Amino acid sequence: MSTSDVLIVGGGQAGATAAITLRQLGFGGSVTILEATADLPYERPPLSKDYMLGQRAFESCLIRPARFWAEQKIDTLTNAAVATIDPARQQVTLADGRVLGFGKLLWATGGTPRRLTCPGADLSGVFTLHDKADADAIAARLDTPRRAVIIGGGYIGLEMAAVLRKLGHQVTVLEAQERVLARVAGETLSRFIETEHRAHGVEIRLGAQLREFRGLNGAVTAVVLADGMELPADFVVTGIGITPLAAPLLAAGAAGGNGVEVDEFCATSLPGIYAAGDGARHRNRFARDEWVRLESVQNATDQAITAAHAIAGQGKPYEALPWFWSNQYDLRLQSAGLNMGHDATLLRGDPAARSFSVLYLREGRLIALDCVNRTKDYVAGKTLVLNGALLDAARAADGDIPLKEASAG
Amino acid sequence: MVELVVIDRAGAEHKFAAAPGMTLMESIRDQGIYDIKSLCGGSCSCATCHVYVDSGTPLAAMSEDEDDLLDGTSERQANSRLACQITLANGMAPLHVIIAPED
Ligand SMILES: Cc1cc2nc3c(=O)[nH]c(=O)nc-3n(C[C@H](O)[C@H](O)[C@H](O)COP(=O)(O)OP(=O)(O)OC[C@H]3O[C@@H](n4cnc5c(N)ncnc54)[C@H](O)[C@@H]3O)c2cc1C
Ligand code: FES
């Protein structure tokens, strides 16, 4: 049995960043990344953006070129899915039965896309979009104009819709809620995004309840709604969120439920075992220390850096500011902070001019903002959120006054 | 090919040539200089690819977005650029690049 000083389970954004950071910190012990799929660590955001558009090669999505891992003496084992963990013996068992030992372990497996359970959900042509294999399977359908139905008006579904329209396909987006982006953004942004997509020829159906998928010879041909409406579809992309992958760790006794719970150093309740990324539930300073699970490159990267510092004996708490971006058509969306718990919103700029920001306040302080084609606000807003700045509401709502000059007093 | 001299955060000098068409960010990363995180993958959304650049050839003007993002970095200088926004082009004079300190 081989043993690594640090065993990283999951070679995605968090796993790769943790390994890189350990070496940057001068950690000289052995480091192994176990990755369930066949691919070396890569960035997922391009999968629903320029990679799907065919404007970016997979090599340029790799977090580091292949030779980096060997140069840095980081072992990368692909096709290596961890099935069980024995924390007392400090061993993991892979799905194929191999056993590996560890000194410290970082759990960085992210999540798995939620799947629909309605009749026909297992027909071919019903895709999720979470990894390279998904993206390639969808891209293979884009050779001739098709009718696509996207289920879920979240960021991934909407980015996918934008790409498909750019490539000339017919697109319908079905959203169960009464607005798109309902889980993450305020209504002003939702309505603006709906208008943009409609202007680009996307059909958006809000409050849409799905009944079933119909198919022919095992392949999807239509989506049927609860009211009986039938939408013809050559393929379907579901983007209805992810479920954290944490079963082996929870079975080993780690505290958690919806993900694995970690403290401010990204340590789980099991000694020597850490977690980071989409699957790590933590108390976030920017959510008034409430438990949250964030699904972003920022969070995966900064938690991985936090865990690596703790593993290397240089622990410092996780307090990085959350931020996120999305690109749809020529729209640049940038967000900072976390808007949960806001008690007021302010609008700066003009949605009709396609340049505006939505500011989220709590007790007069800026806690988050969503910016559309307004990088200046995003940059200024980050500092204001970081400092918990009290805003002068009238000045903050005046798009002609720089946001950085809008704090009160 | 475009000649590059890149000084990393440790002060080490890397001399190499990179193919036109790639961005400065990609050429630095592919050379094995791993100081820039380039978290947004080059979509001008994060400023983690901040560098100081000098070149005999004037570089393409920066977009307002790049300018604004650079304003948000703590170490902006007159020759600050986001490396993902510079595309290497045939006939460019050698670039002298220093990787800016981390924010
Ligand atoms: C299409 C798409 C677009 C996105 N766009 C954006 C964006 O614009 N901006 C943004 O901030 N974020 C975006 N995200 C989210 C971002 O990519 C994730 O938050 C980030 O990748 C999370 O990192 P992670 O390391 O936790 O998980 P992942 O990057 O998902 O990596 C987890 C890895 O663990 C592996 N694994 C799982 N189980 C096991 C096991 N048992 N054993 C071994 N390996 C295992 C998986 O195969 C995977 O490679 C996007 C995500 C997707 C899917
Ligand atoms: S890589 Fe994000 S701005 Fe250059």
**pLDDT value for B34:** 80
Residue A400: other Cβ atoms inside 10 A: 7
Distance CA A302, CA A299 (A): 5
Mutation probe of ligand 1 site: the residue of A53, A109, A155 with most atoms within 8 A of C-beta: A109
Q: Which of A19, A237, A290 is nearest to A121 (CA)?
A: A237
**pLDDT value for A31:** 98
Cβ neighbours of A277 in B, within 8 Å: none
Tell me if A40 sits within 8 A of A11, measured CB to CB.
yes
Tokens 């013809």 found at:
A232
Q: Is the pLDDT of residue A409 over 80?
A: no
Distance CA A199, CA A216 (A): 33
Amino acid (1-letter code) at residue A80? A
Å between B31 CA and nearest CA of chain A: 9
What angle in degrees, to the nearest 10, is found between the helix axes of A297-311 and A13-24? 40
Q: Which of A276, A250, A272 is nearest to A262 (CA)?
A: A276
Q: Which of A286, A271, A305 is nearest to A381 (CA)?
A: A286
Burial A311-321 (b: 16+ CB within 10 A, else e): bbeeeeebebb
Average pLDDT in the A46-60 region?
A: 94
CA of B53 to the centre of ligand 1 (A): 33
Q: Is the pLDDT of residue A19 over 90?
A: yes
DSSP 3-state percent helix, strand, coil across chain B (nearest 5): 15, 25, 55
CB spacing of B41 vs A375 below 8 angstroms: no
pLDDT digits (tens, 9 = 90+) for B56-95: 888 989 999 999 999 988 889 999 999 999 999 999 999 9
**pLDDT value for A1:** 82
Domains of chain B, each with CATH number or no CATH: 2-99 (3.10.20.30)
The C-alpha angle with vertex A50 and arms to A24 and A298, in degrees rounded to 5, equals 35
Cβ neighbours of A323 in B, within 8 Å: 46
Cβ neighbours of B31 in A, within 8 Å: none
pLDDT digits (tens, 9 = 90+) for A196-248: 999 999 999 999 999 999 999 999 999 999 999 999 999 999 999 999 999 99
Collapsing DSSP states into helix, strand and coil, what is residue B17? Answer: strand
**pLDDT value for A78:** 98
pLDDT digits (tens, 9 = 90+) for B19-46: 999 999 999 988 888 888 899 989 999 9
- Upper half-sphere CA count for residue A109 (Cβ side, 13 Å): 24
**pLDDT value for B30:** 84
Q: Which of A308, A384, A295 is nearest to A111 (CA)?
A: A295
Phi, psi dihedrals of residue A166, rounded to the nearest 5°: -60, -35
Distance CA A195, CA B2 (A): 44
Tell me if A148 sits within 8 A of A142, measured CB to CB.
no
Q: Is the pLDDT of residue A29 over 90?
A: yes
pLDDT classification of B6: cutoffs 50, 70, 90: very high
Q: Is the pLDDT of residue A405 over 80?
A: yes
pLDDT classification of A169: cutoffs 50, 70, 90: very high
User: Which of the 8 DSSP states describes residue A286?
Assistant: G
Nearest 10 degrees: Cα torsion A188, A191, A192, A194: 160
- Round the average pLDDT of chain A to a whole number and report it: 96
CA of A184 to the centre of ligand 2 (A): 23
Q: Is the pLDDT of residue A30 over 80?
A: yes
pLDDT classification of A380: cutoffs 50, 70, 90: very high
ipTM score assigned to the predicted complex? 0.90
Residue A72: other Cβ atoms inside 10 A: 16
**pLDDT value for A399:** 95
The C-alpha angle with vertex A33 and arms to A30 and A37, in degrees rounded to 5, equals 160
Report percent pLDDT > 90 for chain A. Answer: 98
Tell me if B35 sits within 8 A of B9, measured CB to CB.
yes
pLDDT digits (tens, 9 = 90+) for A70-118: 999 999 999 999 999 999 999 999 999 999 999 999 999 999 999 999 9
**pLDDT value for B57:** 85
Sequence-distant (6+) residues with CB within 8 A of A111 are A242, A243, A244, A245, A278, A279, A295
Distance CA A338, CA A10 (A): 26
**pLDDT value for A53:** 95
Amino acid (1-letter code) at residue A196? E
Domains of chain A, each with CATH number or no CATH: 2-112+242-311 (3.50.50.60), 115-238 (3.50.50.60), 330-405 (3.30.390.30)
Q: Is the pTM of this model over 0.90?
A: yes
**pLDDT value for B78:** 95
Average pLDDT in the A13-38 region?
A: 97
Output the ligand 1 site: residues, CB below 6 A.
A 9-15, 34-37, 44-45, 47-48, 81-82, 108-110, 129-130, 156, 245, 277-278, 295-298, 300, 324-326
